[in-house]
Amino acid sequence: MTLTLMSQERTIDIFNRYLGNKDPVTNLSYIETLQHKVKNSTHAEFYIPVLGIQGTGKSSFLNALLMDDLILPVDADETTCVPVEIRYGKKDTAFIVNFDDQAPLSIKNPKDLEQYIHNTYNPGNEKKVSFIQAFKEHPLLENGVVFVDLPGVGSLTTGNVKTTLKYIQKLSAAIFMLRTVPPITRQEAAFIKSVWSKLSKAWFIQNQWNEESITEVQDGKEHNINVLEKIRDANQTSDPIDLRVINVYEALNGQLQNNDEMKEKAGMTDFVQFLQSVTNSWSIMLEDEITHLQGQAYKDITDVLLREITLYKKGPAEHYEQLRVEEEKLNNVIEENNRILRSIEDFLTEKQVEIHYKLRNEVTRGKKNLRTDMQRIVKSDVVDGDNLTRAFKECQEDVANTIVEVFIESLTDTKIELEQLSNQLIMRNPNGSFSSYEEFSKTASFKFEKALPNVLSVGGGFAAAAALTFLVSNPAGWVVSGVFIVGGLIGNFLGSATKKLTQESRQRSTLNQLEQSIDEFTKTLEHSLSKQVDDFIMSVRSSAQKVKEEQVALQEVEYDKQRKIRFVEIEEYNKQLQQLQDDLQYIQSLRSIK
């Protein structure tokens, strides 16, 4: 009901006249941002990707949760990395296979899916499948909930990180599948840490296998919680950790045999009820959020109008006094903000040097390891051909993985610290009062709000500052492209030593050829990761610079505004004031309808 009011021409016009600043990130104005959010929320699908490394039982879990048969193939290979989206729909359209470069394909028999998601039939996703849609008439899928079966996030250098992060960017919540033995590994932890701040809700499911005893499960759970708490603390939040143990295998059996008791015992029933309540309230929560946002919008525009009217009603002497007070206030804020910006600059300089140093060290170390590994292998008479290629590839992968881990860890830690610094930046509310960005972001009740910069600060005229804090909270893009590039660096090496040579000469000649490849690989590795770090730091720097410029400009704007009021012709003055009062009345009439 209220949504329509927001789209009325006069409302839009008023907003654009008084809160017309554009957000530098999205290039949307206040009202456009708001409209965008409203539109998104009404058409929103609530994505719940199921994440976890290969072998944690993601597909089995989804089969047990949503299907009444083994619909989703359970041994999908992570190297193909094709996501399967499960939406609400009638039974007869079973699957739609979507491609990068051709028309979608409809499939009835789940067996046929293997052609597209199994590595044997579709190695390295050479068929270019972008994603697969499955449909199911299931109460959990009502309200636009979409579950996604995502290929594992075990190896950081494979392309699936990109796919995974795509879903995380648009996500609403995520389910992480964990194991009991072994509990969360370092790579899993690194992944969770890097996406933690992007998740609005995260539920962790520890899959219990049948042979695992209660003690084992408890022990594993304790460790998993330890690790998750550590990640949470590093991210400086206090979100409770929701970890449940489910025996997926038993739950699946219960589902197949239609045995409620089995499902209950497996821990599935509880979780289904929980999900049901979350997804049911999801639309209500969204609506509340929109109502809240609109209320804020009306309040903001009213504040702006009232502030202007007060200005108009003041005499010249009062204007002068007001200008002086405002100037002083703004000066103080600018001074404080500049201090924060300086510490951000210092921090960036320090971090840049530190990360470069770290990467260089890791690469040097990795290079030496790669070389000694290859020495050992070649000296064991693996001197050419497929075996050597494979060994070289795997050794490169290991080196790359270690370095990528350092890269992700460094960027994530930098991000966390930068966020704390930039949260101290002082912004101006539309009503003219000031508060730190941290206070601002608290008013957003949902994390999905973070998908767009905070509209309030734009309203207050601190658009660049808002853009900076947004940028700082969001280095996922840099991480992903860095990781993606590294995946592409791992190359083949066949070796071409001729069989005519003696074994020792063959070894020597292979090692010489390898040396070049190793050198090139490690050089490019260091270069491309360092460049990602530099790009990120440079963009934060230039954003910080923009904040400085914006603040100076803001003072001018304020000054101009008041001067305009003071020196305007009386006729024009009256007209303006009348306009303001009309607009205010109109806005207030809207509020009363609401």
Partner 1 sequence: MNIQHTMDRIKPVIHQLGSEELHSVFTLLQERIDYPESFVTLLGETSSGKSSLVNGLLGQDVLHVSSKPTTGTIVELNEFDGETAITPYALLKNAKLRRLSPEAFLQETIQPSEGVLRVRLNIPKMPLGLQGMRLFDTPGYGSIHQEHEEVLKEFIPNSDVIIYVVNYRVGIGNNDAEFLQYIERFLQDNIKFFLVINRVPSDLNSSDVRIKEILNYAQDLLHSEIEHFIVSAITGDGLKMPQADDLWAAVRHEVQSESRKKHIEEVLQDYQVQLLQEAIIPWQKQLTLMKVSEEEVALLQQTIFEFKNKKIKANDLIDQTFERLNRQVPQMFEQAKENMDSFLETEILETNKWTSSQETVGLIHSHILPRRERIQREVITDFLEVELDKLNNQLEELVNEAIIDFQTKIVSISGQFNPIMKNISKLVLQKTTDGALQTFLSIYGGRGGAGAGVANLAKKGLKKAGEVVGKKFSRETHNALASFLKRIGATSTRNITIVATILIDSIFYVIEAKRWQGRLIKETKKGTNQWQQDTCAFVIANLETLKKTNNENMDNYFDDFINIINTEDFNPASKLEIGEIEHRISEIEELILQIKKDKVSI
Which residues sit at the interface with partner 1, rule CB under 8 A?
181-183, 185-186, 215-216, 219-220, 222-223, 226-227, 230, 364-365, 368, 371-373, 375-377, 379-383, 385, 387, 390-391, 394-395, 398
- Please count the other Cβ atoms lying within 10 Å of the Cβ belonging to residue 580: 22
Collapse the DSSP code of 382 into the 3-class scheme (helix H, G, I; strand E, B; otherwise coil) and give the result: coil
C-alpha triplet 406, 364, 398: angle, nearest 5°: 55
Least distance CB 76 / partner 1 (angstroms): 17
| 106 versus 375: smaller Cβ distance to partner 1 | 375
Backbone φ/ψ region at 187: left (φ over 0), alpha (ψ -120 to 50), beta: alpha
Contact 396, 491 (CB under 8 A): yes
| 139 versus 154: smaller Cβ distance to partner 1 | 154
| 175 versus 518: smaller Cβ distance to partner 1 | 518
Least distance CB 381 / partner 1 (angstroms): 4
Least distance CB 202 / partner 1 (angstroms): 19
Least distance CB 185 / partner 1 (angstroms): 5
| 331 versus 361: smaller Cβ distance to partner 1 | 361
Q: How far is CA 107 from CA 75, 78, 89, 120, in A?
A: 19, 22, 14, 19
- Residue 58 has φ and ψ, to the nearest 5°, of -60, -50
Least distance CB 492 / partner 1 (angstroms): 16
Collapse the DSSP code of 423 into the 3-class scheme (helix H, G, I; strand E, B; otherwise coil) and give the result: helix
Least distance CB 178 / partner 1 (angstroms): 13
| 380 versus 588: smaller Cβ distance to partner 1 | 380
Alpha-carbon distance of 280 to 142, in angstroms, equals 8
| 72 versus 395: smaller Cβ distance to partner 1 | 395
Contacts of residue 377, Cβ cutoff 8 Å, sequence gap at least 6 = 388, 391, 395
Bridge partners (DSSP) of residue 203 are 175, 242
Least distance CB 470 / partner 1 (angstroms): 33
| 68 versus 381: smaller Cβ distance to partner 1 | 381
In Å, the largest CA–CA distance within the chain is: 102
Least distance CB 406 / partner 1 (angstroms): 15
Contact 131, 83 (CB under 8 A): yes
| 136 versus 179: smaller Cβ distance to partner 1 | 179
Contact 573, 488 (CB under 8 A): no
Supply the DSSP string of 221-268, one letter for each residue: HHHHHHHHHHHHHHTT--PPPEEEEE-HHHHHHHHHTT-HHHHHHHTH
Least distance CB 264 / partner 1 (angstroms): 27
Residue showing tokens 């490169």? 396
| 115 versus 185: smaller Cβ distance to partner 1 | 185
